Amino acid sequence: MQVEVERKFVCDSDIQQKLQQIGAVCLGQREFRDQYFDSDDFTLTLRDFWLRKRDASWELKRPSASRRSVERSSERLCTNYRELTDPREIKAELTEVMRTESCADDEEFESWLQRLTLKCFAEFTTVRRSYALGDEGDGTRVRVDLDQADFGYCVGEIEVLVSDGEDTTLAMRRIEEAALKLGLAGEKKVQGKMEVYLKRFHPHHYTQLLDAHVL
Ligand code: V4E
């Protein structure tokens, strides 16, 4: 299993030029539609669990168990999440967090999910342009995504994947270096697409997540 260590940033109009200048290689552009699901009382998101259907695939993002207290402010800008894509693993996590019953192994994932009566609380399309930065000889692959969501919000992400349980210090250092090369000053946490979406379209849900310190 892998952990996504990432830092979001505000996209300036000249970001693509800056990426070119530092030798980033464009990996292409793609478009995907995300639908996020939760119970009426927000059992998942209040625990920082994010269940989504990205186009036809189910994914679950949950906080990484390897989260530790961070001292440096630049590190506080990074988030660590595990991303599960195997339906059996997603089912096991949801069974635990929702305190629901598991099912016979042969039951279809989607029909099991239907019994949880989760509702779609957010749905939007993202156009994503991705870039790869050369590694520094240590095998760390830094990726930069520029996301444009259809509700009128743009955000960038610098991301490194690490193996579950691996120390994330090197990943955070590489992310910080990439941010410096791109001239991304500032220690302010940048809002993700979901934060902006909920604030705009579901303020009640947004306030609950703020009060629970999830956002
Ligand atoms: C983890 C999370 C959410 C789920 C969406 O994650 P995000 O990385 O924002 O979306 P996206 O489309 O870039 O996913 P990817 O393709 O990279 O997997 S919504 C809120 N969170 C928590 C969260 C947080 N607390 N703070 C920050 C800065 N980001 C996310």
161 CB-near residues (< 8 Å, 6+ apart) = 2, 3, 4, 5, 141
Strand-pairing partners, residue 158, are: 7, 144
User: What separation in Å is there between the alpha carbon of 192 and the centre of ligand 1?
Assistant: 6
27-61-206 Cα angle (round to 5): 110
Residue 69 has pLDDT above 70, yes or no: no
Span 90-147, pLDDT tens digits: 999 999 998 876 666 667 889 889 989 999 999 999 999 999 997 777 778 999 999 9
User: What separation in Å is there between the alpha carbon of 19 and the centre of ligand 1?
Assistant: 22
Pocket test for ligand 1, best of 121, 155, 194 (most atoms within 8 A of CB): 194
User: What separation in Å is there between the alpha carbon of 15 and the centre of ligand 1?
Assistant: 21
Look at residues 178, 212, 209, 211 and name the one whose alpha carbon lies nearest to residue 192. Answer: 209
User: What separation in Å is there between the alpha carbon of 24 and the centre of ligand 1?
Assistant: 23
Q: Decide whether any atom of ligand 1 lies within 6 Å of the 75 Cβ.
A: no
User: What separation in Å is there between the alpha carbon of 208 and the centre of ligand 1?
Assistant: 17
pLDDT in the model for residue 107: 73
Residue 148 has pLDDT above 70, yes or no: yes
Pocket test for ligand 1, best of 6, 33, 61 (most atoms within 8 A of CB): 61
Among 21-35, 77-91, 165-179, the range of highest mean pLDDT: 21-35
User: What separation in Å is there between the alpha carbon of 193 and the centre of ligand 1?
Assistant: 7
Q: Decide whether any atom of ligand 1 lies within 6 Å of the 206 Cβ.
A: no
Q: Rounded to an integer, what distance in angstroms lies between the CA atom of residue 5 and that of residue 64? A: 9
Residue closest by Cα to atom 11 of ligand 1: 193
Residue 164 has pLDDT above 90, yes or no: no
143 CB-near residues (< 8 Å, 6+ apart) = 27, 130, 131, 132, 133, 158, 159, 160
CB distance 4 to 171 below 8 Å: no
Using pLDDT thresholds of 50, 70 and 90, give the confidence band for residue 73: low
pLDDT in the model for residue 103: 63
Residue closest by Cα to atom 25 of ligand 1: 215
Q: Decide whether any atom of ligand 1 lies within 6 Å of the 81 Cβ.
A: yes
Q: What is the DSSP letter of 47?
A: G
pLDDT in the model for residue 28: 97
